[in-house]
Chain A
Amino acid sequence: NAGVTQTPKFRILKIGQSMTLQCTQDMNHNYMYWYRQDPGMGLKLIYYSVGAGITDKGEVPNGYNVSRSTTEDFPLRLELAAPSQTSVYFCASSSPTDGYTFGSGTRLTVV
């Protein structure tokens, strides 16, 4: 049982480049989330989804986009990378009975 799988684990981007952070879960959870954690800060919600085809903005959505074409996958897209997007990104899924399961994170540096 893999849980929540995030790829890549590390990435360095140049300013203005774009990339997609991948997230897949195998628990059939309807709810999925993207959080970012800046140094010394808590996790802040970027985007979330309550099911396939449905996404909504969280607390810090600017500069990001998401899609949810299947229950399993919830990719996060950065279109024009900026230094302010240097952070650790966590994908998570949840259900009322299972609670939250987090991926191991993607450490992104924008230079």
Chain B
Amino acid sequence: DQQVKQNSPSLSVQEGRISILNCDYTNSMFDYFLWYKKYPAEGPTFLISISSIKDKNEDGRFTVFLNKSAKHLSLHIVPSQPGDSAVYFCAASLSGGSNYKLTFGKGTLLTVNP
């Protein structure tokens, strides 16, 4: 049973527009959520995170929104750039932000077209 779901395998966006990547989870005990970015032939790299006590976290062009009642989070990238083209993984943790034992979604391939 998949506890973290990314239902869109791919997303294509024009440069300069907004990219919205979605993630749903089923385990209400998850209390910390993260987004990772992965380029081909590289390991995932941390992008942004949010604790369950917040509903929004911003870092430059990246904003993560959390809707606990809907068990849904989203990553907004504004404005999108061609260098943002990568696979984005949503991940969740039970560990109160201690960065321990993450559960990952399947990933969404974002393509930003010039």
Which A residues contact B (CB, under 8 angstroms)? Answer: 4, 31, 33, 35, 40-45, 48, 58, 90, 92, 94-96, 98-100, 102-105
* Also in contact, A4 and B43, with CB within 8 A (given A31-B99, A42-B89, A99-B99): yes
Which B residues contact A (CB, under 8 angstroms)? Answer: 4, 6, 9, 34, 36, 41-46, 49, 89, 97-107
Say what secondary structure dominates the interface of chain A: strand
Write out the residue numbers on chain A whose beta carbons fall within 8 Å of the beta carbon of B106: 40-42
A99 to B46 Cα, complex, angstroms:
8
Q: Is the CB of A43 within 8 A of B45?
A: no
A4 to B36 Cα, complex, angstroms:
16
A-B pairs, top 8 by smallest CB distance, nearest first, are A102-B43, A42-B104, A43-B104, A94-B99, A96-B98, A42-B106, A99-B99, A104-B43
Q: Is the CB of B44 within 8 A of A90?
A: yes
Write out the residue numbers on chain B whose beta carbons fall within 8 Å of the beta carbon of A35: 104
* Also in contact, A40 and B43, with CB within 8 A (given A94-B100, A99-B99): no
Q: Is the CB of A45 within 8 A of B43?
A: no
Write out the residue numbers on chain B whose beta carbons fall within 8 Å of the beta carbon of A31: 99-100
Which residue of B is nearest A97, CB measured?
B99
Write out the residue numbers on chain A whose beta carbons fall within 8 Å of the beta carbon of B34: 99-100
Known pairs A4-B43, A42-B104 / 19 extra A-B pairs, C-beta < 8 Å: A40-B106, A41-B106, A42-B4, A42-B105, A42-B106, A43-B44, A44-B104, A45-B101, A45-B103, A90-B44, A94-B99, A99-B46, A100-B34, A100-B36, A100-B46, A100-B102, A102-B45, A104-B41, A105-B43
A35 to B100 Cα, complex, angstroms:
13
Which residue of A is nearest B90, CB measured?
A42
Which residue of B is nearest A33, CB measured?
B101
A71 to B107 Cα, complex, angstroms:
30
Write out the residue numbers on chain B whose beta carbons fall within 8 Å of the beta carbon of A104: 41-43
Write out the residue numbers on chain B whose beta carbons fall within 8 Å of the beta carbon of A90: 43-44
Q: Is the CB of B107 within 8 A of A92?
A: no
